[in-house]
Amino acid sequence: MTMKILVTDDVSPKGVELLKSQGFEVDVTPNLSEEEFIKVIPPYDAFIMRSLTKVTAAGMDAGKKLKALGRAGAGVDHIDIKAATERGIVVCNTPDSNTMAATEHTCAMLLATTRHIPQAHNSLMSGEWNRKKYTGVQLQNKTLGIIGVGRIGSRVAKRMQAFEMRTIGYDPYISKERARQLGVELVDLDTLLKESDFITLHTPLTQETRGMIGPNEFAKMKEGVRVVNVARGPVLDVEALAENIKSGHVADAAVDVFPNEPVTLDNNPFLGLDRIIITPHMGANTEEAQLAVSIDAAQGVIDALNGQPVATAVNMAPIPKAVYEKIEPYFGLVERMGILGTYIADGALKEITVEYNGELVDTETEMLTTTAVKGVLSPILQETVNFVNARNIATARDIEVKEVKSQGNKPVANAVTLTLKTEKNSHTIVGTLFNGNEAKIIQIDDYRMDFTPEGYLLLAPHNNRPNMIGQISTILGEAGINITGMQVGKTTDTDTNIMAVAVQADISNDIMIKLRAIEGILEVKLINCEAGH
């Protein structure tokens, strides 16, 4: 019997043609509400969508024949990935298909800021002829600071180098060797802010990057700097940018993404400003990109329906049932260990080693190792990291991945040990399952621990002295932050302990500053243990 695929009408026809050429029966419908999806999905084996149709567990239960969901685009927030995985439905997206579109839009915005092109156009169309007012600047011999030297940032660097620009970059997650290959000089963030004539943002939205360019960062920038953001809206404080444009500290800026979208007359901080270019989140909107996401989504669905590996799957690839049943309880543990390791590690990552002890020694653990790699990479990369592409992304970034089976001495019988080596140091995390399913971290470096890695977690190494717990608890309590758990780990090698404090919600930067100011506190890191989910 011919398999049937449902496609929404804003997916390029080329993707539909590809599906039909492979022998599938294809129906094209308008974008569906969740209720409409539930009504029409029962006869279909796959569904390809953009971003308007929400696919929930209820929709998947209605579509009992569903084997694949294809997203023509990168974001999958509107798809219940967990429900799809539980039901054996492959979910694939197209994370790289619009890379060039976003790259070129960044370059276009940057160039427009140098010559005031939209403003000059509008002036001329209104009957003015004012050449002097729109005198610009040249790119040659200027310094471009690139925050996030990933798939888009690296391409922007290449293109701006053709304009004879010096390119410097801040990205703690790439090696110096990789940066040299790209022609980018790696610097710390403060240096980038102080030396750059132009600054472009290319970071994912994480706990670390949210609001990373705000009033303090603008104060460190050169007088007359130009700023471009085509990455994620909340990374840049647009109110602070507007104030710095008004003062003249920022000469020009270009923004495509905003903390709150859509932007209207009621929430646009740039109204009345002439030294700003804004576009409505259109960085990925080119004919070529829309064509590419359509074809790539169709190919992913074709592979899934044919039982082939899907390079852009965002959920788990099929593995033998017996193996899956044995390793399944460990997936959450090892991914969260990877997330923890990323927050703890300093410097460019060089090596990820996952060591298995006890019952996992004689089991196929490659998927668990991939899960750990996914946990390490997901919080720090702009591109989607999944169970299929995690190893390739690590390889592309010169990160060596090792898997070790050992019967050596461990604190518990069945343990997983994750070791991350960077250019600066090495960190080790040991985890296990209590009662066969409860994830626990039992060691971080030399500290013996016992905590559950979930939600928001404060890690605070500190000198072993009285009232350390009390001071942290008081600051959090006065800020209205609920503590849901606390545990202190000890080490016999030094006179230091480490606190693991589970909190109910995110913690603002001003509270973090107060915590770090406590005498005897060596460091405080806020970790979102769900960052990879």
At residue 52, what is the residue type?
A: L
232 catalytic residue (yes or no)? yes
The arrangement of strands across the sheet holding 143-147 comes to 185-186, 166-170, 143-147, 198-201, 225-229, 250-255, 276-278
Q: Which residues touch 266 (CB under 8 Å, ≥6 apart)?
A: none
- CA geometry: angle 465, 468, 469, nearest 5 deg: 130
C-alpha span between 159 and 412 (Å, rounded): 53
Q: Using CA atoms, how far apart are residues 415 and 440, in angstroms rounded to an integer?
A: 10
Which of 261, 366, 400, 423 is catalytic? The answer is: 261
Instruction: Quote the CA–CA distance of 483 and 506 in Å, as a whole number.
Output: 11
Q: 316: helix, coil or strand?
A: coil
What stretches of 31-126 show up as alpha helix (H) in DSSP?
34-40, 57-62, 81-86, 99-115, 117-125
Enumerate residues 6+ apart whose C-beta is below 8 A from 30.
8, 9
Q: Which residues have C-beta within 8 Å of that of residue 445, sequence separation ≥ 6?
A: 427, 428, 491
| 42 vs 64: CA distance, rounded Å | 6
β-sheet with 483-490: strand ranges across? 400-406, 349-357, 415-422, 426-434, 438-444, 447-451, 483-490, 496-503, 456-463, 525-528
Active site residue 223: no
Cβ-in-10-Å burial (0-12, 13-18, 19+) of 226 comes to buried
Which of the following is catalytic: 232, 336, 427, 462?
232
Catalytic, out of 159, 249, 281, 448: 281
- Active site (annotated) includes residue 261: yes
> What is the number of alpha carbons within 13 Å of residue 183 lying toward its C-beta?
15
Find the angle CA(28)-CA(32)-CA(36) to the nearest 5 degrees.
Answer: 110
Residue with tokens 């109204």: 271
Alpha-carbon torsion 323, 326, 329, 333, what sign? Answer: negative
Whether the CB-CB separation of 530 and 454 falls below 8 Å is answered with yes
> What is the distance between the terminal CA atoms of the chain, rounded to a whole angstrom?
36
Report the catalytic residues. Answer: 232, 261, 281
